[in-house]
């Protein structure tokens, strides 16, 4: 199977995953396939893990072109949809390990907020973690990754396409950190 077939198979499996379906108040209504949630404009749950190194640089990565939303965009957070049988925390740990090969690190929870765009309606849970080890990129989801200073990330977001949902999570994180006494 070549890479494009692997990506297509991964996309089909991803679209069929049962995702937590919630209302505007983040109350669980049931579980639906990811593709159905998206097509019907319903609300799911998502996790966003901001991965820093000990120098304070943020890991940014580029999404595969086969992704259903924001294909080829840069992303400031690892993460994804919360499956029907998962908590936000379990989903965050799973996604961080799947996408970047990072496991066994403490995840610091920050906040949950509602993100609402026509093709992407989510309750978003934001986490952060620190990692100085190697990254093992998931070939079906991540094209490339690198660590950048916060100022470099902010500059790049004006020059390159970045995922708006993870940018919202990142900006909220930065505001929260700035407001800590």
Q: Which residues are annotated as a binding site for Mg(2+)?
A: 95, 99
First to last CA, the chain: 54
Q: What secondary structure does DSSP assign to 106-147, as a single string? A: PPEEEEEEEEEETTEEEEEEEEEEE--S-----TTTEEEEEE
Instruction: Pick out the residues of the known binding site.
Output: 95, 99
Other Cβ atoms less than 10 A from the Cβ of 41: the count is 12
User: Could you tell me how many residues make up the chain?
Assistant: 181
Tokens of 95: 């996604």
């Amino acid at each position: 199977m070549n890479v494009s077939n692997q990506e297509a198979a991964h996309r089909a499996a991803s679209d069929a995953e049962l995702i937590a379906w919630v209302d505007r108040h983040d109350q669980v209504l049931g579980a639906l396939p990811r593709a159905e949630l998206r097509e019907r404009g319903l609300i799911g749950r998502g996790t966003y893990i901001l991965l820093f190194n000990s120098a304070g640089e943020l890991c940014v990565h580029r999404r595969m072109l086969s992704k259903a939303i924001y294909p080829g965009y840069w992303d400031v957070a690892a993460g994804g949809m919360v499956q029907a049988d998962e908590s936000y925390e379990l989903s965050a740990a799973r996604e961080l390990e799947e996408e970047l090969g990072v496991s066994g690190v403490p995840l610091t929870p920050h906040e949950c907020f509602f993100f609402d765009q026509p093709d992407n309606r989510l309750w978003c849970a934001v986490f952060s973690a620190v990692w100085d080890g190697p990254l093992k990129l998931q070939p079906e989801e991540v094209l490339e990754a690198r660590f950048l200073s916060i100022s470099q990330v902010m500059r790049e977001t004006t020059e390159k396409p970045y995922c708006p949902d993870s940018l919202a999570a990142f900006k909220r994180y930065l505001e929260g950190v700035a407001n800590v006494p």
